Structure 1
Amino acid sequence: MRLHYARCGFRPIADDEVTPGLREIRRREADSGLDRWPRLCVRRDLDELNDELSNELNDEFYDKLNDQP
């Protein structure tokens, strides 16, 4: 499923990119039990250059992710 997001131009959000508002949403989700399985915050950059770079990073990220047992 995560590969679908990469194909659509989304990339994982690094910890230093998570805003206070998103941290609060994630905290509420965890309080509701939604942290029982791996979750990932993603974003889609609209700038063409950023899209190209993020796709390369996504490919590298998901290649490493798919290599894990």
Structure 2
Amino acid sequence: MPSSYENAFGDELEAIYGRGVHDLPGVVAALNSSGVRPAGGEDWTESSFTAELARLSGTENHA
């Protein structure tokens, strides 16, 4: 079952995509304008966003 953070993250991504924002820099900027933050509370970066997508999808690099 998804956590409340995962639900909020997913809902915000759907809203961002629904507004027609599909490029990585635009999505990151929109997330930073929202209330959804990474676990540490810092701003999203392209790197932290793509790492979070990998973590949530279970495809993060385990090297």
TM class, shorter-length: 0.3 to 0.5
Q: Which has the higher strand share?
A: 1
Q: Provide the TM-score with structure 1 as the length reference.
A: 0.31
Indicate the structure (1 or 2) with the bigger Cα radius of gyration.
Answer: 1
The structure showing larger relative contact order (alpha-carbon pairs under 8 Å, at least 6 residues apart) is 1
